[in-house]
Amino acid sequence: MVETSVAGGGTQARAANDVAVRLKDVTIEFRMADRASYKAVERVTLTVNEGEFVSIVGPTGCGKTTLLNVAAGLYQPSAGAVEIFGTGLGGLNGQSGYLFQAEALFPWKTALENVAIGLETVGVPVAQARARAQDWLTRVGLGKFGARYPHMLSGGQRKRVGLAQVLIRDPKILLMDEPFGPLDAQTRQIMGNLLLDLWSQNRKAVMFVTHDLEEAIALSDRVLIMSAGPASRIIGEWRVTLPRPRDIAEVKLDPLFHQLHREIWQALKDEVLEGYKQTGGG
């Protein structure tokens, strides 16, 4: 997928340094225990522009998370190149914040300490880091929960702390791996709105991975669809021109939303079925 301004018409061509994340012909192979190799993704090219919210949707096991890990610098691609703001990425991507799918808070730190740690690592004095962490906890609606340890918080509250932990560092790029996956439907909606609210105040480039197409359309500027694994590719790209600010619940009633959902689902359906066959799920 080459970044062109086809669908929207209103978007202008962008200069190279406006591109926050660029994956160029990225292929990732894993060596398995039995020496065989497994090709997770093959020749994926994608860009995320500065201030743009891009979702990657695909069936289970299609290597969406792998792409995020490559953009984060946690994995090196087997072939292809990763560029962050026009510069090749070697090592960890220091300009990105990563919200993981699994529990990633430090269980031995309180919510406040968990949020503050992201500043302490760059040398902000502890007292100052804590004060700003308290600010962030308030912004994610947990102002009174700073002294709690992660196990004393609900799943949704832990995700809020995780969001604050990442955002307090003010990363230019936000990588999100099904961050609201394990939450119930209502909490997901609330978290989605919280995310959009925080994002609209300070627009970062967001690479958002999900298997939930509705969530992807409701949140994003652009939706990329991946094929079923192994050797997944990007097989489609849709621009979401729904007006912002959006409310997750309301935007789902918009006729444009339905039209997009129908179109994308047509493309995704076959891949989802294929994905189930591959992974033996059902």
Partner 1 sequence: MSYIRLLSLQVAVAVVSLALWHLLTTIPIGGKPLLPPFFFSTPLDVAAQVYKWFADGSIWRHLWITLTEAMLAFVIGSIGGILVGFWFARQPMVAAVFDPYVKMINALPRIVLAPIFTLWFGLGIMSKVALGVTLVFFIVFFNVYQGVKEVSPTILANARMLGMSERQLMRHVYWPSALSWMFSSLHTSVGFAVVGAVVGEYLGSAAGLGYLILQAEGTFDIAGVFAGMFVLAVFVVIIDWMVTLIERRLLVWRPVAAETRT
CB of 163 to partner 1, least distance (A): 13
Here's the x/- map for partner 1, 45-74, by CB under 8 A: it reads as ---------------------------x-x
| Cis bond before residue 230 (omega within 30° of 0) | yes
Among 59, 97, 146, 179, binds partner 1 (CB under 8 A): 97
Q: How far apart are CA 98 and CA 118, in angstroms?
A: 12
Please count the other Cβ atoms lying within 10 Å of the Cβ belonging to residue 95.
Answer: 18
CB of 96 to partner 1, least distance (A): 7
Among 13, 122, 185, 253, the residue binding partner 1 under the rule CB under 8 A is 122
Residue among 43, 169, 233, 252 that touches partner 1 (CB under 8 A): 169
Q: And the tokens for 5?
A: 């301004």
Q: Are 227 and 58 in contact (CB under 8 A)?
A: yes
User: By CB under 8 A, which span of 21-29, 91-99, 230-238, 273-281 interacts with partner 1?
Assistant: 91-99
Interaction of residue 141 with partner 1, rule CB under 8 A: no
Binding partner 1 (rule: CB under 8 A), the pick from 152, 249, 256, 273 is 152
Compute and round to an integer the Cα radius of gyration of the chain. Answer: 19
DSSP-assigned letter for residue 232: B
Stretch that binds partner 1, among 21-29, 34-42, 88-96, 230-238 (CB under 8 A): 88-96
Which span sits near partner 1 by CB under 8 A: 44-52, 113-121, 201-209, 248-256? Answer: 113-121
- 105 or 260: whose CB is closer to partner 1? 105
| Binding span for partner 1 by CB under 8 A among 15-23, 90-98, 218-226, 253-261 | 90-98
Per residue in 240-257, is it b (16+ CB within 10 Å) or e — as a string? beeeeebebeebbeeeeb
Selected range binding partner 1 among 96-104, 198-206, 221-229, 269-277, rule: CB under 8 A? 96-104
Residue 40 contacts partner 1 per CB under 8 A: no
> How many CB atoms sit inside 10 A of residue 3's CB?
17
Q: Which is nearer to partner 1, 2 or 122 (CB)?
A: 122
Structure tokens at 145: 């929960």
Q: Judged by CB under 8 A, which of 9, 107, 245, 255 binds partner 1?
A: 107
Cα–Cα dist 105/192, whole Å:
20
* Distance, CA of 98 to CA of 131 (rounded, Å): 22
- Rounded CA-CA distance 74/55 in Å is 20
d(CA 4, CA 14): 9
Nearest to 46 by CA among 207, 176, 177, 275: 207
Summarize as ranges the residues that interact with partner 1 (CB under 8 A): 72, 74, 92, 94, 96-98, 100, 102-110, 117-118, 120-122, 149-152, 154, 165, 169
